[in-house]
Amino acid sequence: MGYQVLARKWRPHRFDEMVGQAHVLRALGNGLANGRLHHAYLFTGTRGVGKTTVARILAKCLNCESKGITDIPCGTCAACAEIDAGRFVDLIEVDAASRTKVEDTRDLLDNVQYAPTRGRFKIYLIDEVHMLSTHSFNALLKTLEEPPEHVKFLLATTDPQRLPVTVLSRCLQFNLKPLMPDMIGGQLEKISAEEGIEAEKSAIERLARAADGSMRDALSLTDQALAFGGGQLVDAEVRDMLGSIDHDFVLDLLERLSEGDGPGLLDTVARMAETSPDFAEALAELLAMLHQLSLAQTVPSMFDAETPEGARLAGLSERLDAAWVQLLYQIVLHGRRDLPLAPDPRAGFEMILLRMLAFEPDSGGGTPQAPAPSRPAPARPAAGDSQPPAPPIAAPPAATTPAGNEDWHRLAAALSLSGMAQALANHCDWVARDGQRVTLQIDEGHRHLVNDNVTVRLAEALSEHFGEALSVDIRVGPVSSETPAAAAERVASDRQARAREQIEADPNIAALKATFSAEVINESIRPRDQE
């Protein structure tokens, strides 16, 4: 006998061989064990989740010659063997997609009234039943209303919304769910062991994710991967076959984001572009990584840090703020929707990454905010640029004498910072400098910005600016004066108020309000330099 594809060879023959769908199998098993049989069953779900497989097993349960009506068919009697082979005379399988006409349905139902030839029941298994025409459904409905006792209907569809409610109401409905990747991966590991296939765990996990909840797709992809890899499942080859993004690239992107390294971010994208990636798939991988990163931060027990990839994510989880990870996830989620609108996929992908670099969470619970206007982005010298750094600001007074408020604002703006470190500096208030130690204070509402990595980056920027090694101590408590971020927010608010005053004072606006009862929408007003 020639090679049999995995999807057919490993199709389950009993309920206990199926992966997942416990909610469906339990209901069917209890009904069969207790003799509570319905005349019509409807199985719904996406492709490859086991709809027709469950239907065929149910047909064996109803017609098993050795055990009678049972939830565990013997699998060896003539009826079970013939159903498995697809040649049982009393199991009539129909593909509704190719037999949509009412004449086809009438021909099919002409013999309903006759008793089964060999089996206990005559079973009609209609796949993709939603493809039947309206007249075909009307022809089927009469039989569904008053079926003979020896007839059972097993209907399967991927689109139950297209079935008439009159048909739905006459069926027991079972919704088969997409399988989780770990379920699919476990079955692929079992099959690999039984088949003697050398398989890397990461390759199996990649195939399980690519199957998108479908066991049949997983087995078909495994067959393809075996052909591609010469009988082995190697992660690198599976990745090439699927056109997947190397996870190292995605981790590199996250690390560059955590460092606020814009040039490094674009350099990583350039290296990715050399492999001709699918940038939409790259965003999907980035979302998956951010999900794992959030798990590591909030539910560590659900996160596996033992793999090399997990170890790098664990390190990132300690450096990145949890609120910022959530914001990054939302930016990528919206970016996937907008990517088709970009001039080209790479430009759209880069813009999404730059947006992730530019925004930070709003501690007040509102929408994400861009960096404050008074916080200009620092100029980063290009590689090999010998331009000298800006002259340092005079060191603030030492010991317990606090620096002037405006001095700290200018210093915070002059530091070579970006991302989280820049946000931290802008939400701090200067307390004192005592020798090599700089003390800053931040309010409770911005405590989430404080972590060891970001504090070290701030200390390095201060050290670079003053030309000597400094450490930073950040206290949490009420700030005594206006922070750079608060000042920027005040300036923006004042400018917004002045813009509204100018709008209200405009005689044309006044005329529109008087004539048409017009109303000025505050949210639509922007100062001129923000238009």
* 378 pLDDT above the threshold of 60: no
Residue 146: inside a domain: yes
CATH of the domain at 205: 1.10.8.60
Distance CA 14, CA 69 (A): 14
Q: Are residues 201 and 300 in the same domain?
A: no
* Same domain, yes or no: 287 and 406: no
Note the pLDDT of residue 499: 81
> Please, which pLDDT band fits residue 274 given cuts at 50, 70 and 90?
confident
The band of 372, judged by pLDDT with boundaries at 50, 70 and 90, is very low
- Token readout for 94 is 């129909």
Residues 350 and 217 in one domain: no
What pLDDT score was predicted for residue 184? 93
387 domain residue, yes or no:
no
Per-residue pLDDT at 100:
67
One domain for residues 199 and 186: yes
In a domain, 38, yes or no: yes
pLDDT digits (tens, 9 = 90+) for 395-447: 443 333 344 756 888 899 889 888 788 889 999 998 888 889 999 999 988 88
> Rounded CA gap, 323 and 423, in Å?
13
Dihedral sign computed on CA atoms, order 425, 426, 428, 429: positive
- Does residue 48 form part of some domain? yes
- Which residue, 242, 261, 295, sits at the end of a domain? 242
Instruction: Encode 325-334: b = buried (16+ Cβ within 10 Å), e = exposed.
Output: bebbbebbee
386 located within any domain: no
Lowest mean pLDDT among 10-14, 150-154, 272-276: 272-276
Strands of 437-442's sheet, edge to edge? 428-434, 437-442, 471-476
Q: Are 124 and 94 in contact (CB under 8 A)?
A: yes
- The tens digit of pLDDT for each residue in 105-137 reads 787 777 788 888 888 999 999 999 998 888 888
Residue 530 neighbours by CB distance under 10 Å: 11
pLDDT tens, residue by residue, 192-225: 999 999 999 989 988 998 888 999 999 999 999 9
Does pLDDT of 488 surpass 90?
A: no
pLDDT at 405: 58
Tell me the average pLDDT across 462-470.
89
pLDDT above 90 coverage of the chain, percent? 37
Strand residues in 190-284 grouped as ranges (E): 198-199, 232-233
Three-state DSSP class for residue 430: strand
What's the one-letter identity of residue 231?
G
Assigned domain for 88 exists:
yes
Its domain, for residue 215, covers 181-242
In a domain, 299, yes or no: yes
**Contact (Cβ atoms closer than 8 angstroms) between residue 441 and residue 480:** yes
Instruction: Examine the domain organization and report whether 14 and 163 are in the same domain.
Output: yes
Tokens of 445: 């509402």
Per-range mean pLDDT, top range of 261-270, 317-326, 365-374 = 261-270
Question: Is residue 316 located within the same domain as residue 261?
Answer: yes
The DSSP element (H or E) to which 441 belongs, if any, is: strand 437-442
Q: Which tens digit of pLDDT belongs to each residue from 65-96?
A: 999 999 999 989 999 999 999 899 999 988 88
What lies within 8 Å, CB to CB, of 385 at 6+ separation is none
How close are the terminal C-alpha atoms of the chain, in Å?
A: 73
Amino acid at 132: L
Count of domains for the chain: 4
- Backbone dihedral region of 126: left (phi > 0), alpha (psi from -120 to 50 degrees) or beta? beta
Backbone angles phi, psi at 326, to 5 degrees: -65, -40
Contact 158, 188 (CB under 8 A): no
